[in-house]
Structure 1
C-alpha cells in the first residue's frame, strides 16, 4: 500500500506543471452557471481520453478511470461568478465573470489527480465529477444525484476540496460531522392598508409590521435554537413604498435561513412562518412566507474524516485542522446520498472568497491536489473495508 501511495504522490507532482497552466487557462476564460460547456470541453481535453465518459446535468460530465468495482468520486465545480475581476494579472478574466471562489484551482487539482490515478492504476477506480451550477439554483449536484449516476458508476464515497482563506497555508481541514449549514432563501410579503402618512390611523402599516418581524425573528436564534446548533437568520433586502408621505400597502423582505442540523432546519422554517404571520396579524396586516429550498447541511462522514486526518499526519503533507461554518455548498447533496468528505484547504491570498481580488497562487493548486490525494487514498481504504475501522497495530 505504501508503494502505491508513493507512486501516486510522484505521479501527481509530475502532473502539477500542466495543472498550473490549465488553471490559468480556466481562470482567463470563465463561464457562468448553465453556460459552462467551454470549460467542460477544456477539462475533458486535459483528462485521460480512455476513461468511461457520461454527460450529466446538462453541461457536466463524469469520467471514470481504473478498473471495475466500487469507485471514489472526486468533485470539481465548473461555474464562475458574475464578478468583474480586479487582480491585474496577465491571465485575468475580462468577460465580466470570474473564478472568485477557487473553482479554477479545484478543477486544475482534479485534473492532476485524475491523470495520476490513470497512470498508476491503483486497485480502487476513480470518477472525476465535473459538476455544473454550484453557485446557483437549480443545483448541479442535486441533478447528478437524482439522475442515478452515482449508482451507475458504483461510487462508494465522494470527496471534494474547497480553498479557504481563513486557514493558514499548509492546513487542511477534514472535520467530521456537520461542516456547512443548510441554506434556504425566503421571501416575506406583508400586506396592510395604504394611507396618507399624516393619518396613520386610517391605514394598517406593513412597514411597521415588517420591522417588528425582523427584530422578532432574531429571537429564534437566541431563544428557540439549541445554543449548540449554529443558526443564522439574515434579512438581505427590504423594500416598501415609493413616496415619503404615504403608508404603502405592502412591504417585502428577502433573506436566508441557515442551520447546521437538518431537524432544526425544518423547525426553523415553521417557527419563522409562525412569527411572521402572528406579528403581522398583531398589526392588522397579513404575512405570506415563501421559502426556496437550497442545500441541506453538509455532513462529513466520520470515518473518511478520521482516516484522511491520519494519512495527512503520517505523510506530513499537511496539518489537519478543524473548520465549520454557516456557509453552504451543494456538495451536501452528494453527502446526503453516499459517505462523503469536504476538505477545506488553506491558501496564500488575503482576499476573501467571492471578491474581485481573490487569487490563490500555484502552491494552492498543489495543496488542493495533495489534499484530494490523501482523501482519495483514505476513501479507498474505507470503501475496501466496508466502512469498518481497521485494527490498529
Structure 2
C-alpha cells in the first residue's frame, strides 16, 4: 500500500477535525458550523474558498501551473436525523442528530488531501474540493448545480467515494454503469364512505382496496418488468381508522420505488397509477395518486471508472480493488454524473473492530445508531484523492 508520508503524518490532526464534526452533526442545509469549520480550515492552509453554494456548500480551489484543465473531488457533509447510541468522547452532542453514514469521515479524507495538495502542488491545472451539503434526502448536489457549480468552477470530471462497512479497510470497490438506484416515493389516498363496523354494507371500505393494491403492485415487478431489469416497489406505511368499530372513510399508502433506469421507472409509475385508479373504481372509491422522483440512478462513466481502477490498483494492488455489486440504495452524486463524466466508488470501512470503548451494541453499519467511521481510513483516503487528482491532471 503506497500511502503519502505527509498525509500519514497529519492523520492525528485530521482525525481530531473528524471527531469534532462527528460530535456536532448538522442536518441537510443546516450545516452552518460544519461549513464554517471546513472553510476556515482550508483558508488556514492558504486555499481560497467559495462559500454558500447550494446554501451551505463549500468549494476549495487549488491551482498550479498554467493548464486550464480541472478536476472535482466531492465529500458530503450532512448528518442524519437519528439519536446516537455510542457513548465515546466524540459522540453526538446534538440530540436527535448523528453522523451515522460517515460523511464526517468523507469530509476528513478530502481535508487530508487538501492540506497535502496545497503544500505539494505536483500537478498542472486546478483541483476543486467540493464539500456538498444535504446528501441525505435534500438533493444538495442538485442545488449546488443550480447555484452554478459547473459554471463557476468548470471541470472535466468529478469523483466521489463512500465508506462501506463490512468491506475490509484497505480495499476498494467500483463498477462501470449503474451502481446506486433511483430513489422515489409515492403516496396514495383512497377515499370511501365511513360506516359502523357492524354495518359495513352502509359504507364503502377503503381498507380492502389498499390490500388489493399492496398485492397488485408486486405483479408489476413479477409480470410487467423484464426479469433481468432490477426494480423494487415497497409499501412501507398504511394508515387508516381511529376506532375498532368504525369503517374508515379513507386509507393512505406510502412507500418507495427503486430502479436503475429511468425507462423502468416510467413504466412502474404509470402502471401503479393505472392500477390505483382502476382498483379504486372497481370498489367505488376515489383515489389521489402522488409520485415524487427524488434521486436519479447513479451511473458511472466507463472511461472514468477504468481510470479510477488503474490508479487505485497502482496504490493498493489490483487484488484490493473489487467489483462493486450494485445496491438499491440511492446517492445524489447521481446529479453530478448527469452533468459531468466521473465515477462514484467505495472504500472499505472494515468489520467494526475499530470501535473501541463506548460504542453501542449494534453493528457498525450505515444508518445504524452504533455506527462510527474508521479513522484508519483517513491517510488512505487522503492519499487516494491526491493520487487521483495528480493522475488526472498529468
Q: Report the TM-score, using the length of structure 1 for normalisation.
A: 0.90
Matches within 5 A, 1:58-207: 58-67=55-64, 69-96=68-95, 97-121=97-121, 122-137=123-138, 139-207=139-207
Deviates more, 1:369-378 or 1:305-314: 369-378
Match of 1:386 in 2: none
What is the distance in 1 between the residues matched to 2:47 and 2:244?
Answer: 67
Match of 2:20 in 1: 25
Question: Which digits, 9 at most, give the CA deviation of each residue in 1:223-242, with x for residues without a partner?
Answer: 22222221111112110010
* Displacement after TM superposition at 1:133 (Å): 1.1
C-alpha contact 2:171 2:321 (8 A) present in aligned 1: yes
Unmatched runs of 5 consecutive residues or more in structure 2: 353-362
C-alpha contact 1:159 1:372 (8 A) present in aligned 2: no
Match of 1:37 in 2: 32
What is the distance in 1 between the residues matched to 2:391 and 2:47?
Answer: 25
What is the distance in 2 between the residues matched to 1:74 and 1:338?
Answer: 12
Ranges of 4+ aligned residues in structure 1 off by more than 6 Å = none
Match of 2:284 in 1: 284
What is the distance in 2 between the residues matched to 1:188 and 1:359?
Answer: 37
C-alpha contact 2:114 2:129 (8 A) present in aligned 1: yes
Match of 1:385 in 2: none
Deviates more, 1:167-176 or 1:155-164: 167-176
C-alpha contact 1:31 1:39 (8 A) present in aligned 2: yes
Q: How many residues align?
A: 375
What is the distance in 1 between the residues matched to 2:380 and 2:74?
Answer: 16
Judged with a 3 Å threshold, the aligned counterparts in structure 2 of structure 1 residues 351 and 181 are, in CA distance, closer, same or farther, namely: same
Match of 1:384 in 2: none
Question: Which digits, 9 at most, give the CA deviation of each residue in 1:315-337, with x for residues without a partner?
Answer: 32671122210000111111111
Q: Report the TM-score, using the length of structure 2 for normalisation.
A: 0.90
Judged with a 3 Å threshold, the aligned counterparts in structure 2 of structure 1 residues 29 and 317 are, in CA distance, closer, same or farther, namely: farther
Question: Which digits, 9 at most, give the CA deviation of each residue in 1:136-156, with x for residues without a partner?
Answer: 33x111011122221321111
C-alpha contact 2:187 2:255 (8 A) present in aligned 1: yes
What is the distance in 1 between the residues matched to 2:387 and 2:207?
Answer: 54
SS of residue paired to 1:359: coil
What is the distance in 1 between the residues matched to 2:393 and 2:275?
Answer: 48
What is the distance in 2 between the residues matched to 1:243 and 1:379?
Answer: 64
Judged with a 3 Å threshold, the aligned counterparts in structure 2 of structure 1 residues 264 and 184 are, in CA distance, closer, same or farther, namely: same
Question: Which digits, 9 at most, give the CA deviation of each residue in 1:161-197, with x for residues without a partner?
Answer: 1111142222211211100000011111111121222
1:357 to 370, 380, 383: 370
What is the distance in 1 between the residues matched to 2:166 and 2:206?
Answer: 41
Match of 2:341 in 1: 339
Match of 2:322 in 1: 321
Unmatched runs of 5 consecutive residues or more in structure 1: 1-5, 382-393
What is the distance in 1 between the residues matched to 2:252 and 2:279?
Answer: 15
Judged with a 3 Å threshold, the aligned counterparts in structure 2 of structure 1 residues 54 and 111 are, in CA distance, closer, same or farther, namely: same
